[in-house]
Amino acid sequence: MDRRLQFAFVLLCLGLLSSTARSDLVVSKAERLVDLNSHIVRVLSKLKVENEGPDDVSEVLLALPDAQAKNLAAIRTFYSDGKLGFVLPTEPIEPKGMPSDVTYYSIALPKKLGKGKTVSLDVLSIFTRSLKPFPEEITQAESQLVVYTDNMYYTSPYPVKYQSLVFRLPGRVESYTKYPKVELVKSELRYGPFEMQPAFSYSPVVVHFENNNPFAVANELVREIEISHWGNVRVTEQYTISHGGASLKNGFSRIEYQARPYMRGASSFRVLIAKLPARAHSVYYRDEIGNISTSHLWDDSQRTQLEIEPRFPIFGGWKTTFTIGYSLPLHDFLFEADGGKRVLNMTFGCPLDEVLVEKHIVKVVLPEGSKDITVATLFPTKQSEDVKYSHLDILGRPVVVLEKDNVVPEHNLYFQVYYKFNNISLLSEPMMLIVGIFLLFVACIVYMHTDLAISKTSSSYLEKLQWEEVQATVQHIKNIFDQYLAAHDKLESSLRDLSRSGDVQSCKAARKAADAQFKELAKELKPLLTFLQSCSQASSILPKIEELVTKEKEMQEKEMAKHTTVVDCFEKKLGGKDIESRIASQQQKLTSLKQEVESLLDSISEI
């Protein structure tokens, strides 16, 4: 209290001193509207500035006491020239010969203000952490009371002719600084009007009132925007949220909270609402221990609204962390710019309603191979660069990191990232995969076809070689038997032809051919069999093959016998039934033999 008075006194003295120094500008009217509804304080000052001096003026100075200036999150000046409204640049400066406990901002006017002319300016300044909870600890059942302190007069380096101050309050008022010119109407507390105040007039005003609106503070928010040129922008937001109001004492009682949530636990907040861009999809909401199931998503063509509930209601001093992620269609945010560049146009701030972000980090992950990266923002941020390795990257993806402290919803403006990117680089990763898999197969082929034996004379190696030879021989034998079977089939078909056409000659010819083939095959078979007999490793298959040979011989004989019978019969012009009865027994034996031979062949091929 002493300090504040001291400060006021200093200001007053300084004000008296400097009022003469810059007397050419005068604030003819200053109406201030202080919105105390949320925990972010918005002060809208409607100023009319008049030039009473002889010279033209191109800049107007604003002043904020240092105590307030350190909580300032944003300041913006709106100017309207009748038709168009635009924002004037407002920069902090340090003018000479001015009181030093005050921070100054200069507004550059669009055109010089001539003598006797006035200009209307709307200055919106946004303060954070200006509502101090009092008492600092409350129980669950109590409402949260906060204190707001301000200057009753408009702090200005110029004299103010006429001014007023209005506080817009969310609820009950516990107490406020009494003053003759004050009235409390519903939820508005009005001070003034005051007339003819010198520059740097100061008189403290304190409002102590109930504010149960969520004091949601994100201690840190890391917003990662990852661009994929396959058509997707993925946004991941990691929050550390805490309740910035009066902290809870005496524990939390669920029974009281459940019985009357709005009375018992009024100061807490349970729900946060995030306004995501339109066509956001694949939305998730989770924390480090898994999915959080309490969330709702509404979406229409204009925007997507996500209502999230943290795992537990957040009371004063409590904290929680969570992650929201969503994907956006690329064509809504990425555009072609001049000079072959691409430009990403995204909002900077946090999509949650009325959340103050103490430390806001935006990371824009550009695709691998992006070059010439530049960033354009509407307010100063700390910029740095980084590299992120993700999905099969080799060089890594360039990351633009933007940092800003004290981000309020008013910072939710668009910013642009310009970069150059060649579409060919898109194919590099699929190509890498293809080449990788191809090489894998090549390696397999090479492995299968190379001889990795260390010693070429070792017994196991020789055995292996011999075994391979045996296998080749067996395969050869198998082929020969297949030919045998084919020859048999030919004979059979010649018989069938005979029965159809009665052409005995062609049938005989077929038989001759078959005889020749059988002989040839037998010749071919002999050396193979002798080789197998000489091989020790073939001992397991040899009996089978020998059996096969005998079976096949038998079959040949039977086949020949059958053939001769049928041909004889035909030559004797016997009836079909006769032939059938004659060959019936032979036929049966033949089929059974054939089956046996076939199954033997199968078993041999299985070695």
Partner 1 sequence: MATSKVEGSSSLRHAFGGVLSVFILLLIGVVAFSIRLFSVIKYESVIHEFDPYFNYRVTQFLSKNGIYDFWNWFDDRTWYPLGRVIGGTVYPGLTLTAGTMWKLANSLNIPLSVETVCVFTAPIFSAFAAWATYLLTKEVKGTGAGITAAAILAMVPSYISRSVAGSYDNEAVAIFALIFTFYLYIKTLNTGSLFYATLNSLAYFYMVCSWGGYTFIINLIPMHVLLCIVTGRYSSRLYIAYAPLVVLGTLLAALVPVVGFNAVMTSEHFGSFLVFIIIHVVALVYYIKGILTPRLFKVATTLVLTVGIAVCAVVVAILVALVASSPTKGWSGRSLSLLDPTYASKYIPIIASVSEHQPPTWPSYFMDINVLAFLVPAGIVACFLPLSDASSFAVLYLVTSVYFSGVMVRLMLVLAPAACIMSGIALSEAFGVLTRSMKFHITKYFECSHTEAPAKLGESTSTESSAPLENMTKSDTTEKPEVARKEKVARRKQKKEKELTENAHVKPVSAKKEKRPLVLPLEASIVSVFLLIVLGGLYVLHCVWAAAEAYSAPSIVLTSHSHDGLHVFDDFREAYAWLRHNTEVDDKVASWWDYGYQTTAMANRTVIVDNNTWNNTHIATVGTAMSSPEKAAWEIFNSLDVKYVLVVFGGLVGYPSDDINKFLWMVRIGGGVFPHIKEADYLKDGQYRVDAQATHTMLNCLMYKLSYYRFVETDGKGFDRVRRYEIGKKHFKLTHFEEVFTTHHWMVRIYKLKPQKNRIRGKSRKSKLGSKSTSSKSGGMTHKNPWN
CA–CA dist 458, 456 (Å, integer):
6
Q: Write phi, then psi, for 343 (nearest 5 degrees).
A: -130, 130
Confirm if 260 and 150 have CB atoms less than 8 A apart.
no
Question: x/- contact string, 380-399, with partner 1 (CB under 8 A)?
Answer: ---------xxxxxx-----
- Site for partner 1 contains 602 (CB under 8 A): yes
Q: Is residue 449 exposed (0-12), middle (13-18) or buried (19+ Cβ within 10 Å)? A: exposed
Rounded to the nearest whole angstrom, what is the least distance from the CB of residue 544 to partner 1 in the complex? Answer: 6
Question: x/- contact string, 478-497, with partner 1 (CB under 8 A)?
Answer: xx--xx-xx--------xx-
Judged by beta carbon, residue 341 or residue 544, the one nearer partner 1 is 544
Cis peptide leading into 135, omega within 30 of 0? Answer: yes
DSSP state letters, 523-573 = HHHHHHHHHHHH-SGGGGTHHHHHHHHHHHHHHHHHHHHHHHHHHHHHHTT
Judged by beta carbon, residue 25 or residue 189, the one nearer partner 1 is 189
Secondary element (H or E) of residue 213: none
User: Which of 120, 164, 219, 253 is close enough to bind partner 1 by CB under 8 A?
Assistant: 253
Enumerate residues 574-593 that contact partner 1 by CB under 8 A.
575-577, 579-580, 584, 587, 591
User: Which of 312, 379, 414, 438 is close enough to bind partner 1 by CB under 8 A?
Assistant: 312
Enumerate residues 321-350 that contact partner 1 by CB under 8 A.
321
- Site for partner 1 contains 454 (CB under 8 A): no
- Site for partner 1 contains 539 (CB under 8 A): no
Quick check: helix, strand or coil at residue 309? coil
- Site for partner 1 contains 233 (CB under 8 A): no
Rounded to the nearest whole angstrom, what is the least distance from the CB of residue 551 to partner 1 in the complex? Answer: 11
Of the candidates 60, 150, 70, which has an alpha carbon nearest to the alpha carbon of residue 105? 60
Rounded to the nearest whole angstrom, what is the least distance from the CB of residue 100 to partner 1 in the complex? Answer: 27
- Site for partner 1 contains 319 (CB under 8 A): yes
Rounded to the nearest whole angstrom, what is the least distance from the CB of residue 499 to partner 1 in the complex? Answer: 5
Amino acid letter, residue 313:
P
Question: x/- contact string, 190-219, with partner 1 (CB under 8 A)?
Answer: ----------------x-x-----------
Strands 160-168 and 25-35 come out as parallel
CA–CA dist 557, 562 (Å, integer):
8
- Site for partner 1 contains 513 (CB under 8 A): no
Quick check: helix, strand or coil at residue 250? coil
Confirm if 171 and 205 have CB atoms less than 8 A apart.
no
Q: State the helix-helix crossing angle for 459-501 and 504-534, rounded to 10 degrees.
A: 170
Residues in the chain, overall count: 607
CA–CA dist 21, 17 (Å, integer):
8
Rounded to the nearest whole angstrom, what is the least distance from the CB of residue 290 to partner 1 in the complex? Answer: 4
Rounded to the nearest whole angstrom, what is the least distance from the CB of residue 567 to partner 1 in the complex? Answer: 13
Contact positions vs partner 1 (CB under 8 A): 1, 134-135, 138-139, 142, 145, 147, 174-175, 177, 206, 208, 250-255, 258-259, 287, 289-294, 311-312, 317-321, 389-394, 478-479, 482-483, 485-486, 495-496, 499-500, 502, 540, 543-544, 547, 575-577, 579-580, 584, 587, 591, 595, 599, 602-603, 605-606
